[in-house]
Structure 1
Amino acid sequence: MEKMKYAVAVSGGIDSVVLLDLMAHKGHQCVVLHFDHGMRGESRADARFVEALARRYGFLFEGKREELLGANEAIARQHRYAFLLAAAERHGAQLVTAHHLDDVVETIALNIARGTRWRGLAVLGDRRIMRPLTHWTKQQLTTYAVRRHLEWVEDETNATDVYTRNRLRRKLMNLPDDVKQQLYDLWQEQLELAEAITDESVQLLTEPLNRYFFISIDMAEAVELLAEYIRNTFATSLLTSQLERAVLALKTGKPGTVWQIGEGLEMKLSLKTAIIKKIDLGRKDFSDYGGKDAEQEWQE
């Protein structure tokens, strides 16, 4: 039987260095992946460090650099994961990342602050990605790294208050471990719920969306189903306010109107159905067109 291969995402920071060391000492066959955003002066040196680290363990290395200076966190993340997932697929490997318990807690807090509803608790749930360190705290990872005499690089941007996550991280730094464990348990429950909803949504929702179906269910259920449909189809998430507006349009909007519902998504209504598609974000903003204009706007 062929041995499982893992594609390990390594930034060079302490978390991913610990992950790689653990994978190596468990005897796993790995390829090391590194994405350079081109956003920091030290990023080329980080890439060289990770490549040398991969060679030290006897692993294949693949890296990519893009010039994303000035891009926000969301754009940088999209580019990074596009590379990581594509590279893992090319190598026939399971993508593995170094997210730990503190990352889970931070992401939950960040999503709730952004108004992402209960699904803000079901973070880091992409089934294509393995995250074996989510039960480790940051302190445990640091202790392991020191005991193993590991070397890593420090990202200076983690110390700046420019990024919301950094400010939030400092506020959560002294959160007791038992509280983190409670959040971990809640996170696991929400992931299971999210997976169940995903499986049900796939069966309930087909394109074009049936407006009569959405009219027949209550607002909360409709919002949840539409959120899942958008996540599955477009790999993006909308805020609660955006989803509620879209559902209201589904239930009451006039046939022939076109709605821009957020994240570059556009929804066109007919009498019985609705079609959602991705549009060019460079186009003009609009909320509601009617009749012939809507038809013209929808043309490819």
Structure 2
Amino acid sequence: MIMQSQLATAVVLAVSGGLDSMVLLDMVVRQQRYCQRVGQAAPNLVVAHVNHGIRLGSHRDALFVRRLARQYELSYREATLHLGPLASEAQAREGRYRFLRQVAAEYDGRIATAHHRDDVIETMLINLRRGTGWRGLSPMLPEAADAHSYANASGELCLPESGWPVASTAVWRPLLQVSRREIAQHAARHQLVYREDETNASDEYLRNRIRHTLAVMPPEDRQNITQQLWQLWQRQCQLRRAFDDEVARLLRLPQLAGPQIDRYMLLLAPEEVGVELLRELLLRQGERVTIPQVQRALIAVKTLGAGKRHIVSPQCQIVLGKEWLRIERATASRASK
């Protein structure tokens, strides 16, 4: 059972003004007001909106969300990024989450987004097309203790009575278990007003192309494919948690826990285990790396002699001894040879 002291004290709602985020906002506000009526504790709610500055009309989305936050009497934070029309999805996402993390730190809160089941399936298909590793089949892995919304007997989306998220730096996605169709039904039931992003109709973005391809499939084929992918995601999430638990156990061993790491632990481990161990060791030093970067680093650990060093990124390097290695912030030094 989750203790009250473990729950997030604030929830930072990422609200674009579109259908999904408006349903998220409506559902969470309803839950907060219910808790207030029955005398239960509820977190502070903060609406956060990012105007990426990519579309000409994006300032109108910001105005819409700002007015809505005022109507709900919620705290509001807004950022304008001025990315321009040539910005990529990755640039927009990076800037958006940077701002959301700043707001979450300001309120000591938990970020919440409106990702749902269809988003999970689309992301899996995107990752498969790009040649993903096994982690790409469990995107948006939820915290094990997090509650998710469900459709009640009348088709209304709601959270469980004790559905507030635990305190964590991970993103809370309470709509993850429901479909886009159920979200649209909730919006129609409560006559929610939302903004349409005209870029959703464009095939310029890979996600839109995948979404449109699924939409024109025969309903039976689409249901079969999406159901199989959803079941695969659930299994992969279970496997990923088990794998992460085992990696965490190994990293508590004395050979891997200190500033100087036993090189033989990585030399003798199966390649996939070695990659995951080294990835986590780099993350603990604040270095977010891609799997190809980790694979190259592992090759360096296995092949370079003592006294050599491998540059992981401009900010990070691995210094190698005969029996040990040390991860440190990079300085002006020579790269792998």
Q: TM-score, normalised by structure 1?
A: 0.81
* Pair 1:201 & 2:206 matched: no
Distance in 1 (alpha carbons) for counterparts of 2:132 and 2:280: 12
Residues 171-190 of structure 1: pairs in structure 2 closer than 5 A: 171-173=213-215, 174=217, 176-190=222-236
**Deviation (angstroms), 1:262:** 6.3
Moved more, 226-235 or 149-158: 226-235
Distance in 1 (alpha carbons) for counterparts of 2:233 and 2:299: 30
Distance in 2 (alpha carbons) for counterparts of 1:143 and 1:47: 25
Distance in 2 (alpha carbons) for counterparts of 1:272 and 1:172: 53
Give per-residue Cα distances to partners, 1:89-138, cap 9 Å, x unaligned: 32233221100001101111222322331111121126521111111111
* Pair 1:91 & 2:107 matched: yes
1:201 is paired with a residue of what secondary structure? Answer: helix
2:192 is paired with a residue of what secondary structure? Answer: coil
Residues 112-127 of structure 1: pairs in structure 2 closer than 5 A: 112-125=128-141, 127=143
Aligned residue in 1 for 2:22: 17
Aligned residue in 2 for 1:292: none
CA contact (8 A) 1:88 1:95 kept: yes
> Match for 1:161 among 197, 203, 209?
203
> Match for 1:44 among 59, 69, 91?
59
1:236 is paired with a residue of what secondary structure? Answer: coil
> Match for 2:80 among 57, 65, 70?
65
Moved more, 139-148 or 48-57: 139-148
Aligned residue in 1 for 2:323: 272
2:78 is paired with a residue of what secondary structure? Answer: strand
**Deviation (angstroms), 1:35:** 1.4
Cα distance change, pair 112–271 in 1 and its aligned pair in 2 (3 A): farther
Percent identity reads 36
Moved more, 45-54 or 110-119: 110-119
Aligned residue in 2 for 1:296: none
| Counterpart residue identity of residue 192, structure 2 | L
Distance in 1 (alpha carbons) for counterparts of 2:260 and 2:132: 25
Aligned residue in 2 for 1:212: 264
> Match for 1:54 among 69, 77, 97?
69
**Deviation (angstroms), 1:235:** 6.3
Give per-residue Cα distances to partners, 1:161-211, cap 9 Å, x unaligned: 332222222233346335434433332332333334334434424444432
| Counterpart residue identity of residue 23, structure 1 | V
**Deviation (angstroms), 1:265:** 5.2
Distance in 2 (alpha carbons) for counterparts of 1:164 and 1:208: 43
* Pair 1:251 & 2:293 matched: no
Residues 143-162 of structure 1: pairs in structure 2 closer than 5 A: 143-162=185-204
Aligned residue in 1 for 2:154: none
> Match for 1:170 among 204, 212, 216?
212
Q: TM-score, normalised by structure 2?
A: 0.73
Calculate the aligned-residue CA RMSD, in Å.
Answer: 3.0
**Deviation (angstroms), 1:264:** 6.7
**Deviation (angstroms), 1:269:** 2.9
Distance in 1 (alpha carbons) for counterparts of 2:69 and 2:60: 14
Cα distance change, pair 145–278 in 1 and its aligned pair in 2 (3 A): farther
Distance in 1 (alpha carbons) for counterparts of 2:284 and 2:198: 35
The structure 1 segments of at least 4 consecutive aligned residues displaced by more than 6 Å after TM superposition are none
Aligned residue in 1 for 2:162: none
Distance in 2 (alpha carbons) for counterparts of 1:104 and 1:71: 23
Distance in 2 (alpha carbons) for counterparts of 1:277 and 1:120: 28
Aligned length, in residue pairs:
285
Distance in 2 (alpha carbons) for counterparts of 1:266 and 1:159: 44
Distance in 1 (alpha carbons) for counterparts of 2:184 and 2:287: 33
2:45 is paired with a residue of what secondary structure? Answer: strand
Moved more, 21-30 or 52-61: 21-30
Distance in 2 (alpha carbons) for counterparts of 1:276 and 1:22: 45
Give per-residue Cα distances to partners, 1:47-104, cap 9 Å, x unaligned: 1111111122222211111222243222321221121122123223322110000110
Distance in 2 (alpha carbons) for counterparts of 1:42 and 1:118: 39
CA contact (8 A) 2:305 2:320 kept: yes
Moved more, 35-44 or 120-129: 120-129
CA contact (8 A) 2:15 2:47 kept: yes
CA contact (8 A) 1:98 1:132 kept: yes
* Structure 1, unaligned runs of 5 or more: 290-300
